[in-house]
Each structure stands twice: as C-alpha cells, then as structure tokens.
Amino acid sequence: MSIGRLESAITRNGSILVLAWDDGWRAEVDLGPIVSGRPALASLGDPEVFNRIHLAEDGWSVEWPSCGIDFGAAQLRRWADEQSGEAMPATAFRGWMERNHLTLDGAAEALGLSRRTIAYYLSGEQPVPKTVMLATEGYDKRQAA
C-alpha cells in the first residue's frame, strides 16, 4: 500500500489531528497518548502550541516549526490505523508474546509467520496488520479454552 500525501491537517480538542490524504482517506489521530511521557514532545501538550500546526509544503508531513517537531504522513496513518483497531500497536504485540511466554520462534509458529516478520513487528519497523491482531486474539481464546 502506498501512503499518499496529506492534503489537510487541523487540530481539535488540544490533542487530536483531523487529517485528509490525497487518496481520499480521512482519519483522526489522538496525539495525547503519543506525546505523554516523551520529554522531546512535551511542548505539544500545550494546546496553544499544538494548534500552531502546519502542513509541510510537499504534503509529506505535519510540523510545528516553533518547536521543531514533525510527523510524517506514513506514521500518522499508522497511528490512525492503530487507534481505530485496523492495526495492532507493537507494544500490544509484545504484550501478547509476553503474556503467552512466547519467543520469536514460538510466536512465528503460533501465527504461521516467519521469525523475521515477528522481529519486524516487535521493533515497530513494520505495522502489525489487522489479520495478525485477530490471530493473536484467536490464539488467546484457544489458550483459555
């Protein structure tokens, strides 16, 4: 899937971005949980600063020039997918492995994936797709039975 450029970005409620991409996709991303606990992003916790968002001239990112923070279109789409339940956050995937006492090899076997793919998911290098998220839920149900 190719991630398009952003066409618009507006703020709402002090931590939410309302975004539109050039492929017609629209989504909201709540940056509150992302900003929380990350000192480098602390300035975005101030609604006055947060509301000074700019769409980059090329459309590939949103930025806050006053504090030197920007997020790319692909990362924003990923967060939108994770927050809407269309993808699984890497931290949740790691939590699933830990709860089930699975190693890389064990998770790969349980999900029918390669060890390398599991490593990509754990590192956050690749998003954990909805199909894998659903498979982890199915695995949990089977283990509980």
Q: Could you list the mean pLDDT of each consecutive 10-residue stretch along the chain, which spans 145 residues?
A: 85 96 95 93 94 96 96 95 94 97 98 98 94 97 92
Residue ranges of alpha helices (H) inside the chain are 32-35, 47-50, 73-84, 90-99, 104-111, 115-123, 130-144
pLDDT at 112: 97
30 and 69 both lie in a single domain: yes
In a domain, 10, yes or no: yes
73: Cβ–Cβ under 8 A, 6 or more apart, which residues?
3, 4, 5, 6, 21, 59, 60, 61
Phi, psi of 16 (to 5 degrees): -105, 135
Instruction: Quote the pTM value.
Output: 0.83
- Looking at the structure, tell me whether residues 27 and 68 fall in a common domain: yes
Q: What pLDDT is attached to residue 2? A: 62
Which residues does 91 contact at the CB level (< 8 Å), separation at least 6?
none
The half-sphere exposure of 120 on its side-chain side, counting CA atoms within 13 A, is: 11
Can you give the pLDDT at residue 3? 73
Owning domain of residue 93: 87-144
List the CATH number of the domain containing 35. Answer: 3.30.2020.10
Instruction: Tell me how far apart the alpha carbons of residues 11 and 117 are, in angstroms, rounded to a whole number.
Output: 35
Distance CA 47, CA 32 (A): 11
Residue 112: give its domain's CATH number: 1.10.260.40
